[in-house]
Each structure stands twice: as C-alpha cells, then as structure tokens.
Structure 1
Amino acid sequence: MISDASHEFKNNRLCATVAAHGAELQRLQYTSTLGQQREMLWEGTDPWARHSPILFPIVGKLPDDCATLDGQIIRMSQHGFARDCRFDWVERTETSCTLELRDNAETRAFFPRKFILRVKYTLENDTINIIYSVINTDEYYLPMSIGAHPAFKWPIIPDTPKTQHRLIFSHNEEKPTGRLKKDGLVLKCSPSPVIKREVALSEDLFQEGAIIFEALSSRELQFVTSSGEGLEMSWTNLPSLGLWMIPGSNFLCIEPWQGYATPAGFKGDFTDKPGLISIPPREQWEAQWKVRGIG
C-alpha cells in the first residue's frame, strides 16, 4: 500500500525515504562497492529532531523574528515555514519523487506572496540529486532565500573517531567566516577554519555555534575519514554554506544556501536583507544539490 505520509525509493546503491511533511529527506542508506550498507543521514533523535529540512523563504533568523514587507510587518521564525508544512505529492516512482508546496492562507499569514515551491529527488547510481524549483505565481517580485540543511552522521563510518574526519573543499576558502550571536544574527568575526582546502574536524570548532561562509568559491566538498571513505556533496546556485553541529551529538550539518542569517545591526526592509534574491513575476528559479557515497 502506498503511504501518503512518505515515499521510499531505491536503486542498487541507494535507498531513500522522503516525508510529505516538509518534503524532508529522512533516510539515505548507501551500499558501498564492497556491498556494505551504511546510513548517511542523522536519525532525527535527541538533541535535534530533524534530518534534512528545507529552509524557505528565509535562511536563518530575522531580527526579533520580524521584518517589513510592502509596508507591513511580517513575522517568521528561524528558517521560515516550509519545513513545517505538508507538501503535496506530484510524482512518485521507484527511483524518484516530486513534491510541491503552494501558497495558501496559512503561508500568506507569514509571507504575503504567491508561489510554488517544488522539490524533486532522484537517484542516479551512487548519487541522490535534489532540485529546488521556486515559481513566482504573483504579480509582484518574490523576495526569498532557500537552503538545504542535511545532517550527516558523524562519524560517517561507524566506530571511527570524530577527529579522523575532514572536509575537503574544491577551493581554498580563506575569507573570514561568520558566527551566530545568541540572538541568531551573524557577526563576521572568525578566521576561516579552511587550511589548504581542508578542515580538520573536531567538536571544538562548533563551541561558538555554526560556521557561516557567506560567499563560497567552492561548489563541492568531501566529508571523509582518514581512509577516504564518506561522501561528496556538490551544489549549484547556492553560493553560501553553513556548518553546524551540537557539541556532544553525532551529526554534522553541511548546508548549501541561497542567503544566510541576517547580519547583526541590519534594520532595512525585508527586500534589502543580504543574501535574498528576487524572482520576477511569472518566472522560475532553480537550484540543486547532490550527495554521492564514497567507498
């Protein structure tokens, strides 16, 4: 019997589950070249009860969770509302699924714009491909941000010490990074943790919260152990990146974004928020990200 709440789809290398709630990827099991299976996504238990939420129409927080749009005050909690909305199924196959969220009375209470947010998941050999399509169905410009927030198991290979993991970027990311204040707004205050394209991972990196790369040169990275096993992540049309974990937990979020949390001290209109893009009426914008198993 087909479940209306979720859809499982698979091929010979990957098995994935997506929920209608938030169009969230909740499971991604990888089969290695040696036939060994491992779950790549965090299971969504304490201390973080999510797996891979979609951030829309904002990434991060607004000052005091509010902003001005069209002369009106809008109120929106961190990362927007899409992650807590039920999406409709558009298509489900053995190796893919497509879901969409259309504006409605509930969304317009937070965000007075008409839109369609469509999300497509497709398995291709050892890779899952995720496409975000945002369609402006309004007569006005659609200001928005969108982002991925997948939480990967850390350690990515069971019983491997966390400190034997690293991130390898495609470019050397030397620009200073942002850090979140207690109110969730961004301060540019930290040197980059990337040294010769690599980040030596440890929980100490995250004692001050998320690490934010506002303008990344890289469009791919690897999250691997010292033996080279792990995953590769790539993305297009998502120029910013966040890294986050809760010290003491066993996950690492690698988050490609269009946009980022509001800079500390920003007091402008919502449409002037740094990192937003504005989609013209009746036009469509797309971004995608991929995860490939390694090993």
Structure 2
Amino acid sequence: MAITIQSQEASATINEHGAELVSFIDKKTGQEYMWSADSKYWGRHAPVLFPIVGRLKDDTYFVDGQEYHMSQHGFARDMDFEIVNSKENYVVLELHSSKETKKMYPYDFILRLIFELNGESLRVSYEVENPSEEEIWFGIGGHPAFKVPMNSDKFYDDYTVKLTPKANRNIIPLKGSYADINHLKEERTSELAVSHDLFKDDAIILDLGEEPTTVELTDNNSDHGVVLAVSDAKYLGVWSCYPKEGQFVCLEPWWGLADTTDSDLDFKHKFASNQLAPHEIFKANYEISIF
C-alpha cells in the first residue's frame, strides 16, 4: 500500500512498507525526481536507516553481555509501518517495537516518519520515542536516491553536488564497510563532480559537525535539481552503486555511523550513537526541494 500527498506544485508518494518515499513529482512539468529502484542496480528509493546506520562488525553487537545480530542499516526499511494520521499534504507513519524486532534489537521504541509537502519542498521528520523505563541507544538516517540524469538531454557526468556553506570538513574513509575515524581527511569540500568512478571506494562520508548545511544536486547549467537541507545532521553520505552504473545519486543525512574499525561491539559504546532517556523523544528532519 502507498499514500500520495499533494500540494499545488508537487506530489509525493510514500509506501507503508518501510515508510519509503518512492516518488516526488513536479506537477508543472511532470518531472520525476526519485530513482526508479531498478533491482539490477539498487532496488530501493529512499529507505529509512534504523536502529543503525551502516554496518556492524560481523553484523554483531552486544547489550549488557547479550549477543544480537542485525544486517546493514537495520530492520525498519523492511517492515510495514502504520499510517496514523494523514491530510492532503501530510502523513504520519509509525513502527512499534515487537517480538520480531526484539530478536534483533532489545529496546522498546516508537519510530515515526512524518512527511509534509509545502509547495515544492518536502520535509521528512523522524521521531524516536522511548516508551520504556530504561535508556535506549540507536542510530537513524535517510537514504534518498535521486534520478541522474534528470533530463533526457543530460548525462550522468553533467551533474555536481554542491555544499553550502563552503567549509573545511572531515571526510571519513571506509575500510571495508567500517568507518576509519583514525585516518580522517580534512578538506575544503564544497563541490563533488558526479561520476561513477567517484564511488569506486563506496560512499563519500562528510562530517557536518551538526551544523546547518545545504546540499544541491544539479546539472552544470542548473536546469533541474534537488536541494537537501539539514540543520543538525552529524554526517552526510553521498553514494551510488559501483561498478554497476546505476543512474542515481543518494544524498544521505545521518544521525549515526557504521561501526568504526576499532569497535568493541558494545552497543552502548558505539561511535556517533544517540542515547535517549526514558519517555523522551528524539527529533530530527531534513527537507528536499525540487526545481
């Protein structure tokens, strides 16, 4: 099942399975901005990453000495959410902890995704509620994949990712699937020229320092594109598949990170994790604007 929300300028469709944004269309032009999820390359559109971002070492972790197993990016993207509220331009979807989730993740939680469309801008909000009497730990993030090229007269290499403000940012290299935080590269990163070779070493991971950041993906003439804005994300992943040449680029705001190369597998020690007190609610969001 899917639900479509609309403004006068645009429409967005969200699947209940995974609470995944699958379509974002400019009504004036009919332009689709989301990747088609062709499984030959990568069969997703915009999965939610919860309760981890990236991969755990050996897909394994421990909480209070108890061993658990969870695959890359967690389980929320593969579970059915429930629509709990909706209007013409607004929908709220929820996922609750269950016997099934407790096999992979020992904590009680309520995860909400809120999609609100205003004009040509879509706000995607996350709420993680802790309904229990104990602290919980988690990571969360977005993984929206945008169609590149967006126009039939453009090519993949005609696109650029531009970050504002221009600033010195740490780039976090990956060693295998794990974050090598001991070998950070500080660069004044304001533009990334899109090419398939850009992703030969996996995602480009930028430390945003929880600072407001705007990320624009557009062709060299700025004819069409998307702008992703975040106020407090810890990291940004820029990714596409390689060596397969999928026609998409992901702009991924993260409040979490893959296990570090020196992780001790204790979930309460996990680098860049979020800790939430009993009965508290964690909130984060990002906004996608199309042009």
Among candidates 263, 266, 287, match of residue 266 of structure 1: 263
Question: Take 2:152 and 2:167, find their aligned partners in 1: how far apart are those partners?
Answer: 29
Mapping of 1:62-101 within 5 angstroms? 62-101=56-95
Partner of 1:30: 26
Partner of 2:191: 198
Letter aligned with residue 252 of structure 1: V
Q: Which sections of structure 1, spanning at least 5 residues, go unmatched? A: none
116-125 or 238-247, which moves further after superposition? 238-247
1:114, distance to aligned residue in structure 2 (A): 0.7
Partner of 1:17: 13
1:221, distance to aligned residue in structure 2 (A): 1.3
Partner of 2:205: 212
198-207 or 46-55, which moves further after superposition? 198-207
1:267, distance to aligned residue in structure 2 (A): 1.2
Among candidates 213, 224, 231, match of residue 226 of structure 2: 231
Among candidates 102, 105, 129, match of residue 135 of structure 1: 129
Partner of 1:7: 3
1:187, distance to aligned residue in structure 2 (A): 2.4
Contact 1:116 1:137 in 2 (8 A): yes
Question: Take 1:151 and 1:129, find their aligned partners in 2: how far apart are those partners?
Answer: 16
Identical columns (%): 31
Match of 1:159, SS state, is coil
Q: Which sections of structure 2, spanning at least 5 residues, go unmatched? A: none
The runs of at least 4 aligned residues of structure 1 exceeding 4 Å deviation read: 188-195
Question: Take 1:190 and 1:282, find their aligned partners in 2: how far apart are those partners?
Answer: 36
Among candidates 261, 280, 284, match of residue 283 of structure 1: 280
Question: Take 1:226 and 1:47, find their aligned partners in 2: how far apart are those partners?
Answer: 25
Among candidates 131, 141, 158, match of residue 147 of structure 1: 141
1:169, distance to aligned residue in structure 2 (A): 0.8
Question: Take 2:20 and 2:146, find their aligned partners in 1: how far apart are those partners?
Answer: 14
Length, aligned pairs only: 285
Cα RMSD for the two superposed structures: 1.7
Question: For 1:2-27, what per-residue CA distance to the aligned partner results, in whole angstroms no more than 9, with x for missing partners?
Answer: xxx11112122111111111111111
